[in-house]
Structure formats: structure tokens, C-alpha cells
Amino acid sequence: MQGFILPLDFDINIGTIFNMAKIDEIILQMKQNPKGVRFTDLCKVCDHFFGKPRKSAGSHRVYKTPWQGDPRINIQNYKGKAKGYQVKQVLLALEKLEVNHAIKK
């Protein structure tokens, strides 16, 4: 019986696929219940789509977007949860990113 040879980047691809699945699950949760999103989950989504925050002081994280103005990405940790209105702002930003910058969620 011959062994199955995996491509060299197999682990990276599986990791990327798993990460995208997790991000998709978080985005679905964000849409279903914006007030129930953990701050760390919102950070994962923002880090994935917008990179590391340009400012991370205290309980706030501010992300740079490829546009000026709204929707801005400024999120804050409130007792381990993200604020509902900030989750909605991130969802709007993801929509704008997908429509105007051809990036798939």
C-alpha cells in the first residue's frame, strides 16, 4: 500500500481553513445576537479583516480601515463582552469592505 503524500503547506492550509470557519461562526453569531458577542471574538474578526489595531489602550481597540469616516472600528471591552452597537458597526464595516473592496466575508 502506498503512503499518501501531503503538500508541504498542508498544515498552513488546514489552519487557514479552520480559522476562516471560526471567523464565519463568529460573524453569524454577531448577526444573530450583537449584544451577546465576546470581546475576544470580536477582536479575532477585526484582527482578521483589518489587521492589528493601530491603537490599543485600556479597554479600547481602534482599527484602521481602507476608507475615511464611518463606519469606524473602535471597540471596547465591557465585562468580557463587546458592546452591541459596536458589533453592529463592525458588521457594517465588513459589508462595506466586501462591497467596495472585493473582500469576501
Helix or strand (DSSP H, E) at 61: strand 60-63
Cell of 10: 498542508
More confident residue, 36 or 6: 36
Whole-model pTM: value is: 0.77
pLDDT digits (tens, 9 = 90+) for 51-105: 999 877 777 899 999 888 888 899 999 999 999 999 999 999 999 988 886 665 5
6 has a pLDDT exceeding 60:
no
Cell of 31: 448577526
pLDDT for residue 1: 43
Question: Taking the C-alpha atoms of 23, 25, 28 and 32 in order, what is their torsion angle to the nearest 10 degrees?
Answer: -130
